[in-house]
Amino acid sequence: KDAAFRSGEDSPIPAPERAAFRGLAYYPVDPHYRVPAFLTGDPPGPPVIIALQQTSSNEPQRMRKVGRLRFTLGEATYTLIAFAEEDAGTVNRLFVPFADLTGGTETYKGGRYLNLDRTPTGLYDLDFNRAYHPYCVYNTTYECPIPPRENRLPVAIRAGERLMAQPH
């Protein structure tokens, strides 16, 4: 990912800043943040609009709610809403935006994301070590969905991408 950010044509790092890009920062991989999660479906309903940070287009992003992922971290049980593209005919990937208590200090204040391949069993490998920041962290021309209120976890998730300790 670092190489793609430094030299890829679709890198979110603005071209003049790529040579100085020092790479992404991550928390140390922690197996405690890789947990099983079970997806329970929500009844069909209208698409949900996920709010965006201010962007160049200011267009809302419409997503379809697929269900809720239920999982346990430590002694507590939590849920996160999983989404799919509004017009996806077949849901092969789940989009799981979330925010936690690291937001604004250790991670991006607007939250981070997980992508999960759809499973036929409803059982998922929810690995927060794979959490990533939206591209708007690196370039303000990118749109940045904000996790809905229900996806704001009341714990610190110190796994996955984190903010750089120093500017790149």
Band (pLDDT 50/70/90 cuts) for residue 134 is very high
Predicted local confidence at residue 143, as pLDDT: 81
Residue pair 142/12 in contact (Cβ under 8 Å)? The answer is yes
pLDDT in tens, 40-51: 986 666 666 665
Return the minimum-mean-pLDDT range out of 8-22, 59-73, 106-120. Answer: 59-73
- Match 């002694």 to its residue by tokens: 75
Mean pLDDT of 25-40: 97
What is the average pLDDT value for the chain, to the nearest integer?
A: 87
The pLDDT of residue 100: 98
Report the predicted TM-score, pTM, of the whole model to 2 decimal places: 0.87
pLDDT over threshold 50, residue 65: yes
Residue 54: predicted pLDDT: 44
- Supply the DSSP symbol for 147: P
Neighbouring-strand partners of residue 107: 103
Q: Between 110 and 52, where is the model more confident?
A: 110
Q: What is the pLDDT of residue 57?
A: 55
Q: For residue 55, is pLDDT > 80?
A: no
pLDDT band at 165 (very low <50, low <70, confident <90, very high): low
User: Beta partners for 127?
Assistant: 34
User: Which residues, in sequence order, are CB contacts of 9 under 8 Å at separation 6+?
Assistant: none
